[in-house]
Structure 1
Amino acid sequence: MTRSSNLIDLDSHPTARLRAELDHRTKVTPAMLHSIDKQGRLISVSDAWLAKLGYSREEVIGRPSSEFLTPESRMYAIREVLPAFFLSGRIDNVEYQMVCKDGRVIDILLSAVLDKSLPEMEAVSLAVITDVTAFKAAEQQLILSEARYRELVESQSELVSLANPEGVLRFVNHAYARHYGLQPHEMEGRNLFDFIPEDSRAAVAEHLRIVCSVSHSVENENQVVLSDGQVRWMAWTNRALFDAQGQVTTIHSVGRDISDRVAAERRLQESEARYRLLADHSTDMVFQLDGDLVRRYVSPSCRDILGYEPEDLIGAQPMAMAHPEDAPIVTLAFQSMLEGRADRRSIINRIRHRDGHWIWVEAQLKALKDPKTSTISGIIGTLRDVSARKAIEDQLQEANRRLQALAEQDALTGLANRRYFDEALLRAHAHALSERTNLALLMIDVDRFKSFNDRYGHPSGDECLKRIGGAIKDTIRRAGDVAARYGGEEFAVLLPGADGSEAASVAELIRLAVLHLGIEHEASPNGIATISVGVTGLTGDSSCGPEALVRKADRALYRAKERGRNTVVIAHD
């Protein structure tokens, strides 16, 4: 763990000085610190500790530090961490989860030393805490994304990479590495600016700054230096990926070598003969249109791409082969160039192959100007089949859609998660107010679940929650109803349009469904797992806010617990 410069050196300070230093710096250190006595009670906490967890100093001093850990972290500390701590006198970077005052759970790293040199206190522990919640979430998301990403991109010929905002390469596919004459592992960890000529680095840095400031793809062309010293032109499509806080985590790049195209454009400016020689041998289909968008030249590559002979295409307009849905976009691109609103355009659209099927093509277009008058005389372009690349892009979009669905789902029960439920509640509440319709809310809690976990263990507890979640999901079947795991052993159900009697009926059906599961629970008077349900609702003439609606359902749930559990209680104003 990296120590802040104004923190205490845990190894070199004598105990008395350590304690005095801690008391003195508690209110000024930016770090999360706490000190506990031999009974594990908090005797000192820093302002940063209080700010992170949302407590005042009066609320925490004298309380056991374990009260601020999740049950899992508390058990881990008791069983594994503390025995080793009291033997060695220190621990470093132990992973825990702490619970904030508002119920949020944060991931932390904790390091501590034990000092037994104060006779009057017997032992004092000083801990330094680092919040790593955002890091762990981003790390897990990146692991999942990279696994899916690798499957989709490793077999394609396009150059694909992932880099951090500073340009450090985190991933390159084999095509990328081959292009530079290296292996992927030889490039990952290096900065992409290492492969860019020095006089081009400022322009590339500015381009990446723009990429990180927008939410769409941005194209760029620049030179790169290969491992043998060769300089090549590349065309890149770059897009920034953001985390939940809107911070850029990764720059996604797809590139291809356009050195041949750049060289062709330069030679075209020098000599029509040299241009035709290059075009006739290009793997891309090269074409030239006059001011009326009639083809005047088509390279032999049209045989491989479209299945036609050059003479079949010369004299006709390209719009005749465009897909009806894409024709307006293609027409607009051509017109913008003929009218002088754009010198270059890149368009992707569908064209009918000679055998009748549609292929996706990418056209790079450039306006042709009279060298004397600068008037636009036509368009020259290259065409390539990108059907395979388009299919991979579609697969990537579908993978991202599935990933978004997973982000809204509770991993254990398969129900909606808390985040999705909160958003659904806001939407349903706004709709109920605007349309003056009913909205019912059920808050459900598994009775004596802590005793269940203590008796049968957490794996059995997880299985219990999964089965109860399944029973809830199977009971609500209307379109628009939402069942979610609200947190821990608590569930929530939204019933848009349901009145009080309908909501009470659904709640009773859920309670009976859980009973019928017959999950063994020795600590329950019934001998099996049961639930308590609090029911409330919003009528067409009510103005109760969503937070108040949750509080009412929670109070009804509390009354259900007071009445002996395994029951349904309806909230009344």
Structure 2
Amino acid sequence: MTDMKKGRILIVDDEPEVLNPLNEFLIKSGYKVSAFSSVKEALEALKAHEFDLLLTDLIMPEMTGIDFLKAAFEIDPLLVGIVITGKGTVKTAVEAMKTGAFDYIMKPVEWKILIPVISRALEVRFLRVREKRYRSIVEDQVELICRFLPDGTVTYVNEAICRYFGKKHEELIGHSFMPFIPVEDHEFVKKQIYSLNKDNSVITIEHRVIAPNGEIRWQRWTNRALFDEHSRIIEYQAVGHDITDRKKIEESLKLSEEKYRLLIENANEIIVVAQDNMLKFVNPKAIKIMGFSEQELMSRPFIDFIHPDDKEMVLNNHLKRLKGEKIPEVYPFRIIDKNGNTKWLEISAVLIIWEGRPATLNFLSDITERKLAEEKLKNSYMQLRSLSIRLSEVEEAEKQALASELHDQIGQNLTVLGINLNIIKSLLGNKENAEILSRIDDSLALLNQTNEQIRDIMSNLRPSLIDDYGLLAGLRWYSEQFSKRTGIRVEVTGEEFDQRLAKNIETILFRIAQEALTNIAKHSRADSVTIKLQETDGIEQLIIADNGVGFDPNAVRQSKEPKWGIITMKERVQAIGGNFQIKTKQGDGTTLIVEIKK
């Protein structure tokens, strides 16, 4: 019986003598396979059914395999494609990889090497599907969820925020959230957020916002600071919701307790009055959430309903509030309902006079679902980081495998071809064969040029110098090639670290150096670059500096077009637990610093 978990494969080849044996082999290997000799029929099948892997011929009557890949990826962007051909060239192989092909296999196909390639391709497909599913967990939350940098620049928003403010993702990401807050509240919000540190990493604040129609509304946000390994804040994660109705109730209660009792009875929050460690008033929402009757709630000390681990904290805060001492304006705690279930509540309270004596008026929101959402969000973030690392590892492995195949197969064939051409040339070595000898010389020159191109491709895919001699040697080699190509002088200094970094970390640092030099060539107008490897106090650093025109970081963050080069470098570093910094200003060059804790 076919194991559906192995993957669903679609094959397209106009040659029955290739299509039929390949179809039978994959079915016997346990895959669910659909085979087509027509590109149009294959595209219709892709629209009607879901597939994990696409195997396509390169040369077909209706459409080339590369054009077919492009059409297929438009239907399913998560699809993984492999090109199989008997008429391939280095140029078509590179074009196929640029289109998004996972691999490029020459005919006749060797069955023993096909299954490992398919297994790796399916692993990439399943990683892509899982990554999309984890992202959807965050997008489906009804709570307002966002992340932002220490300067207030938004880096992520979920659909709920877009709906609330009537904005698209691209209108919010890369811009500050402060324009949505009344100007007179800016200082308060900044002060609260900037008070977070490693010992006090979470704060809940209530503040006003400006709705799309200009109405002033209230929101409550729980802000959590995220730190790097040096305890520096790199980002904030925030979860919020609208509390305008509750704020209106608070204002109403201040004016007249009796007049607005109806609002309290129908409020969507728990409202209780506490005095002498007892509950003197409870609204219907309290009865519904806690499961106890009104008499049960008012006949026992309120501390009896608090989770054992939170009793002391809640009681101390209540007594301090009665004394007028400073306590958090809003804080969460747990209760145990009548059925023994643990629920999370968030409390905001004010000091009042109840029947002539001090008491507290308490507003409590059930945040159990939000706590679960935060936990899911945290788990999803960790999963996404793991998936990102794994995808990077798979990509590097495939690059190395492709480089080996270019060397072991095409490289050896070209070498033999060169030897044969030289032998033919020596056998024809007389003036009567001058025209033939000229053609052979042209062929040998073209052969040498092709060899050089293949060596360049292999070096870009995976420089063997890194594996053999270390990161510093790889950086020096690539810098020399870069200088020859661009005319920009590059100086590489430093020494290899006492203990070599893990292979994946060396690869990531090398890729970052590649991306940085590419950006310098495109944008900096620099004529000199320095690359330095050094170790300081157990921190290994890669520092890349140019003498170019620099740029305005604020302008880059506020740009509507994401700067994927910088984003990719930052994510690569964060994926291995490192720290990424860019120091620049307009007219004064740019310095990029990567730090990895030893």
Provide TM-score, normalisation by structure 1.
Answer: 0.43
TM norm structure 2: 0.41
